[in-house]
Structure 1
């Protein structure tokens, strides 16, 4: 059985080129400190998962890296343009799916070229036949595929995922995991995945960070080949160690 290696207090540096580098990052809301001295590197092509208790600052960190919020102190450097997929697909209901996806293209771009790129991405995520559909006619899994296509049409170096599979049923989640890993293998973008699901983190990530009281309390490299099966003994070993780090006892 593989034993997880835990590096405490700060995330280890990424090996090789980086998709993002965060140094001394802090965030306060009034008198409350949410993030306190975050140091983190995400390698180009690396999948990093971030877990922690509710209110630990996971989504706040992701939003700052994505440029949707500002830090109180510290530095954030991202290679290229990061894109974000949220738990809700956030599709515009009065625009067909293809135009929703094309909105992810940086401006200014030729509209026709943007829609061609959007249709290509929709084909990659298995939605070629739904390109001209209205968003409200999509299933939950289809809507998240469209949201993922919208994020990837910009050809990001860093993809930020804020619990994007949390509202999906179990079978659809597994399908989305396979889709994400397939697209990642083809495109080699860096990923920061915020999730409350320890098994999801272990299944997808190269390493899992534990956020506690505004700091990265542990960095756990997941030294397992893919594909990973949730019920495998090695997965269970990692899950036990991560749950212990999160303060969950059996």
Structure 2
């Protein structure tokens, strides 16, 4: 496998019974790169993320992930019987009870005032920010985001986009964002990959500086939608 990559996969294949979900997939992600992965439902996006996260090891082919990995899912997966700050440092060995570490992470998410709150008192957006705080407090080399904004309302989702972009610029992890939202991918990512039939079938590189406007990427947007099988007639 090549040196200097955060993620490298060659011929990655995953089967559930006779069904092949990932089919000879190749992938490279460089240090600090923000990659978005799009595809129809059932195309294997979340399966790939689970493999890279080490949550599913029964695969064929080769892959390597260099450094530490954190995951934020669509559902925050908070422990309701632990206060907010304890959810942040959940699972950290040796530093699991470090409130100062938790509060610094919460401050980045504008949640420091909620450190002693119970998770059930948080709004949807606050709960998702808490999930991100828990992921980033580990200072990961690779941050895996599995449709983390899908359950949020439109305004909260836009605020989360800005927050994630700022945090990525500050911490510079490699990021793999799984999403169904084309505009979200174009605003946040360096590259947009299209997954179909268990393999990556198209790649689009975004070159405009951040912060971006969707108007800068109308041509790329049209190509991405076409790759996803969305025609002008379907949009109308």
The answer, yes or no, to whether TM exceeds 0.5 is yes
1: CA distance, partners of 2:144 / 2:63: 14
Match of 1:188 among 172, 176, 179: 172
* Paired position in structure 1 for 2:125: 141
Instruction: Show the 5 A alignment for 1:4-15.
Output: none
Match of 2:4 among 6, 12, 17: 17
Q: CA deviation at 1:239?
A: 1.1
Q: Is the 8 A contact 2:86 2:97 kept in 1?
A: no
Match of 1:43 among 8, 26, 30: 30
* Paired position in structure 2 for 1:10: none
Secondary structure of 2:6's match?
A: strand
Match of 2:44 among 39, 57, 77: 57
Secondary structure of 1:146's match?
A: helix
Give TM-score, length-normalised by structure 1.
0.89
Select the structure with the greater relative contact order (CA < 8 A; seq sep ≥ 6). 1
1:110 aligns with 2:92: no
2: CA distance, partners of 1:174 / 1:198: 13
Paired residues, number: 232
Match of 1:161 among 128, 145, 151: 145
Q: CA deviation at 1:104?
A: 4.7
Give TM-score, length-normalised by structure 2.
0.95
Q: Is the 8 A contact 2:89 2:97 kept in 1?
A: no
2: CA distance, partners of 1:159 / 1:112: 23
Secondary structure of 1:110's match?
A: coil
Give structure 2 stretches of 5+ with no counterpart. none
Q: CA deviation at 1:76?
A: 2.1
